[in-house]
Amino acid sequence: MLMIVLYFVSLLVGFLVGITGVGGILIPPALILLSGQETHMAMGTALASFLPVGLVGTFMYRRLGHIDWRKALPFMAGSLAAWPGALLNAILPAGPLVALLACIIIFAGLCALRPPKPGSGSVFWQSGKGFFCIGAVTALLAGLTGAGGPVVSIPWMIIAGVSPMTAVGLAMPYQVTTALFGTIGNVADGHVDFAILPYICLMALVGLFAGVAVAKRIPTGVLRKLIGGLCCGLGLFLLLRLILS
Give the chain's largest Cα–Cα span.
Answer: 52
Within 8 A by CB and 6+ apart from 233, the residues are 109
User: pLDDT band at 41, cuts 50/70/90?
Assistant: very high
Tell me whether residue 190 is exposed, middle or buried, using C-beta atoms within 10 angstroms of its C-beta: 0 to 12, 13 to 18, 19 or more. Answer: exposed
Model pLDDT, residue 200:
94
Give pLDDT, residue 63: 84
User: What are the domain boundaries of the chain?
Assistant: 2-244
Query: What is the chain's mean pLDDT, rounded?
Result: 82
Per-residue pLDDT averaged across 115-143, rounded?
Answer: 76
Residue 120 — very low, low, confident or very high, per pLDDT cuts 50/70/90? Answer: low
Note the pLDDT of residue 197: 94
From 10-19, 99-108, 125-134, 224-233, the region with the lowest mean pLDDT? 224-233
**Local structure of residue 245 (DSSP, 8 states):** -
Output the CA torsion 175→129→134→77 (10° steps): 30
pLDDT band at 45 (very low <50, low <70, confident <90, very high): very high
Distance (Å, whole) CA 81 – CA 40: 18
More confident call, 212 vs 8: 8
Residue of 82, 84, 53 lying closest to 172 (CA atoms): 53
For the beta carbon of residue 148, count every other beta carbon within 10 angstroms. 36
pLDDT score of 195:
92
Burial of 96 (0-12, 13-18, 19+ CB in 10 A): exposed
Least confident of 39-48, 99-108, 120-129, 175-184: 120-129
| pLDDT exceeds cutoff 70 at 67 | yes
Eight-class DSSP state of 118: P
Q: Read off the pLDDT of each residue in 19-23 and give the average, rounded to a whole number.
A: 74
Nearest in space to 26 (alpha carbons), one of 117, 124, 148, 189: 148
CA distance 158 to 161: 5
Q: What is the signed CA dihedral for 189, 73, 161, 51, rounded to 10 degrees?
A: -40
pLDDT digits (tens, 9 = 90+) for 173-223: 988 888 888 899 889 889 999 999 999 999 999 998 888 777 667 676 676
* Mean pLDDT confidence for 79-99: 84
Using an 8 Å Cβ cutoff, are 72 and 173 in contact? Answer: yes
Query: Could you give the CA distance from residue 191 to residue 43 in angstroms, rounded to a whole number?
Result: 8
Which pLDDT band holds residue 16 (cuts at 50, 70, 90)? confident
Reduce the DSSP state of residue 221 to 3 states and report it: helix
CA atoms of 61 and 98, how far apart (whole Å): 32
> Could you tell me what percent of the chain has a pLDDT over 70?
89
Cα–Cα nearest to 55, from 196, 149, 171:
171
Share of the chain above pLDDT 90, in %: 14
Please give the distance of CA 86 from its chain centroid, rounded to a whole number.
15
Distance CA 214, CA 185 (A): 36
- Residue 202: partners with Cβ closer than 8 Å, 6 or more residues away: none
Of 16-25, 132-141, 173-182, which gets the smallest average pLDDT?
A: 16-25
Does residue 52 carry a pLDDT above 90?
yes
